[in-house]
Structures are given as structure tokens and as C-alpha cells.
Amino acid sequence: MTNAHGSILLEVQGLGLTFGKGDGSVTALDDVSFSVASGETVMLVGESGSGKTTAARVILGLETADLGSVRIGGRETSGLSEREWRQVRRSIQVVLQDPLSQLNRRHTVEKIVSSPLRAYRIGDKESQRLRVIELLEAVGLEERYLTRKPHEMSGGQCQRVAIARALAVEPKLVVLDESVSALDVSVRAQVLNLLKSLQSSLNLSFLLITHDLAVARYMGHRTYVMFNGRIVESGVTETLLANPQHPYTVSLLESTPLGNLRIDRRHPADAPVLTVPEPGAG
């Protein structure tokens, strides 16, 4: 785990957003602040209604906040024009949750992965193709996948394609919105390993949004726990999970099913053993 985290890539301060007016209004975000430095993985953990997806949408410029500021690479993003957002988006890309629906069902893998390259007019057709092959290799897919369409691939393969697309324009930060939640257990492990290795080889930063504490623990250097639009607890992931302060964090931890881990389960002697309180009665 690297400690050499450099410049702040993403800085969110006091984000506030309310949908609707009056009685029917919903506060999606309430004074949300967090940051992501280069080379680190930051987790946004929460359940439905916590505001984590809304926060992601604001960061990506898909939604406008009422209050607060978002700085990407030091640049304030509120009030940017479409043209200016284009420049910013080159450094921050996204991978969504559903492997199949985030890829255009009528496009081949080559077209999907090269689409950011074409949008930013990077290289000519030939060099774009080579770059796509290079990207596919980086995510563990062979060249023959170039002509496949999304429905011809498995969930894990689709997600790898989405990751390849996100890496096409060499971003510094990738936002992953529940990107492993819809995958089979054995496939999830593959993608998590892939993300970790990409982080170290490409010096990427990740903002990983999830409801799964086990994934947060495995992936994240720092974690922010969100509940009802606010950040209720934050800190270095291991510390936070070993010693949760906020009652909501505690209840999240207690609700995470452990299976029969109360019973002795063999694991390598040097693995950090997490003492988790007994799951409550319900």
C-alpha cells in the first residue's frame, strides 16, 4: 500500500443538493466533503438513498449541485461550459454498475473502447485500433474480442471492456459506481485484482462507490461512509472498520453477512484478523 500520495486530484467541499421543492423535496446531498489524491483509492460507502450516486453524478458533471464546490485537478467545475467540461473529462472517467447496459448494444468492442479516442480526436484510425488492442490486453482480453458485441460476452468481460474504455484517454481518476456489485463472486475477484494491478502500473486513482464493506476494505485506502446525504464517518479504511464510531457504520458492519466465520475458518497465519462483533439478532 503506497503512502506516496501526491497531489490532490479531486476535491469536494460542502456539496449540497436538494431535489424538488417544499414538502416533497428530497435532500440528496448535505454538506458533503471529501478528496482523492493521486495514486490512492477512496471509497464512498453507503446504501440506497445515501447520496453516493448523486455525489458521483455531480463530480462527473451529469448533475449540478446547489451548494459547494468540486475541484478537479485544481480547477473549479461549477458553471463550466460544455466545451470546458470536455477538457476536464479527459482526466476523470467512469465505469458504471451494470456490465451490459453501459455498453452500446449495437457497437463492437473496438467501437466502444475507441469512442473516447474519436471524441477527443486522438490519433488516426490505425493508431486508435492499436491503442484499443493495447487497452484490451491491459484488462486481460485477447484481440479476438475486438469484433464482439456486448451480448456475446459475459458480465465480467463486459466490465473489462468498460474499464478499457475508461482508460483510453489516460485519465488520472476513474470513478467506479458499484462496478463489481453485479458480477458473480468468482468474477468479482478477477476484476478487483485487475483494478489493483492497474492502479499500481498506471498510477491511477479510484473513487469507488459501493455498499459492500468487504470490497471497501480490500480496495480502499480511505473510506467515507454516507447516510441520508451526509458523511457520517471517514478515515483510513482499516482503522474505520476495526473501530467504527458512528452507529450507522456499526450497523453496516454488523449486517454484513459473514457466513459461518464465527466458526474457525482457516486463513493464512499472517493475514490480518478482523475482530468483528457478533451479528445482532436482527
Q: Decide if residue 217 touches other proteins (CB under 8 A).
A: yes
Handedness of CA 130, 136, 210, 238 (dihedral sign): negative
Smallest distance from other proteins to CB 234, Å: 19
Handedness of CA 176, 236, 47, 212 (dihedral sign): positive
* Residue 262 vs residues 17, 30, 132, 258, 278: alpha-carbon distances, Å: 42, 38, 46, 8, 8
Residues 122-181 binding other proteins (CB under 8 A) are: 151, 154-157, 162, 165-166, 168-169, 175
Q: Decide if residue 89 touches other proteins (CB under 8 A).
A: yes
Smallest distance from other proteins to CB 215, Å: 6
> Which one of 18, 27, 78, 115 is in contact with other proteins (CB under 8 A)?
115
Q: Decide if residue 11 touches other proteins (CB under 8 A).
A: no
Q: Decide if residue 225 touches other proteins (CB under 8 A).
A: no
Neighbours of 76 (CB within 10 A): 11
Indicate the residue among 32 and 215 with the shorter CB distance to other proteins.
Answer: 215
CA–CA separation, 197 and 269 (whole Å): 24
Residues 184-203 binding other proteins (CB under 8 A) are: 184-190, 192-193, 196-197
Q: How far is CA 258 from the centre of its chain?
A: 24
Indicate the residue among 102 and 205 with the shorter CB distance to other proteins.
Answer: 102
Indicate the residue among 36 and 175 with the shorter CB distance to other proteins.
Answer: 175
Per DSSP, the three-state class of 30 is strand
